[in-house]
Amino acid sequence: MTKNEVRAAAIGHFDGIHKGHKELIKKLGQNGALIIIESNKANLTPKDRREEYSGVPCFYYDLKDIKDLRGDEFINLLKVDFVNLEKIVVGYDFKFGRDRAWDKFDLRNIFNGEVVMVDEFSFDNLGVHSSAIRRFLRDGDIYRANRLLGREYSVKGEVITGQGIGKKQLFPTLNLDITPYIIPKDGVYATRTKIDDNTYNSITFIGNRLSTDGVFSIESHLLGVSLLQTPSEVRTCFVDRIRDNRKFDNLEDLKNQIQKDIKIATNVSKVCDLSIVDEVAHSRDLF
């Protein structure tokens, strides 16, 4: 869809494309799109994945380019860029313009089309906000984060060189760089890892390697799979947190613990409640 074809747009940061965001998307109707105000902070859903999860076209403005515009100047910019824009959808707490001095009521006075305001969306008695999801991830509460997202939290990671101990003395792992995603709390997680069109159950470690070199790492071990070739990139989906990061006296003790982690992760994958995944995301791709 081109900008000239857009007739309805929801405006916001849309980090995460969570259950609350989906309520705005439902109000768009035909020829709807997201107008996303982008910043360079760590993301739940970086730029190239927002369209994947939202299911509608996405157009971006960099915050640094528009932060000094008055509210009316910003709306005039949208009118120039989206000449057929007839409807704007915003959340209950929408603020815009320099110093966020304009709100949803000002929008109705400035914009000469339809303005739809969506009330706060709650789930599990919690207001659904990206800030709450970030907090749950940093606390290691993957279950609650996933509930508010409406899907399993996933990251795309570049496979980087590790220390090499896993393959030789423990279990082979894929070492990941997941910049710019938000990193969940240190620990061991039951995960799913997607490589090309294949998805594997896995366990993922996050934290400093206390039992070896002390260096921070993110490492995934695929359960029951031996890769013939190391991929350049993978997607990892967080299912549940298994345990905290710990220091072991020797590699044999660490290996025994990893074996226990693998058993737990295998059971978690079997009983995982996929009801948190909405029908659209599940039919498209868990990742």
Q: Mean pLDDT across the stretch 238-259?
A: 93
pLDDT at 47: 78
Confidence check: pLDDT of 273 > 90: no
Q: Are 56 and 72 in contact (CB under 8 A)?
A: no
pLDDT at 49: 87
User: Is the full-model pTM beyond 0.85?
Assistant: yes
Give pLDDT tens digits for 109-120: 999 999 999 999
pLDDT at 280: 37
Q: List the structure tokens of 80.
A: 């120039």
pLDDT at 161: 86
Q: Mean pLDDT across the stretch 135-153?
A: 95
d(CA 111, CA 168): 64
d(CA 113, CA 111): 6
Peptide bond into 57 cis (omega under 30): no
Measure CA 78 to chain center: 27
pLDDT category of residue 171 using cuts at 50, 70 and 90:
confident
pLDDT at 8: 98
d(CA 138, CA 185): 5
pLDDT at 212: 86
Give pLDDT tens digits for 123-137: 888 889 999 999 999
Confidence check: pLDDT of 93 > 60: yes
Give pLDDT tens digits for 54-84: 999 999 999 999 999 999 999 999 999 999 9
pLDDT at 4: 96
pLDDT at 284: 40
DSSP string, 80-131: HHSTT--EEEEETT-EESGGG-EEHHHHHHH-SSEEEEEPPPEETTEE--HH
Give pLDDT tens digits for 43-58: 899 877 899 999 999 9
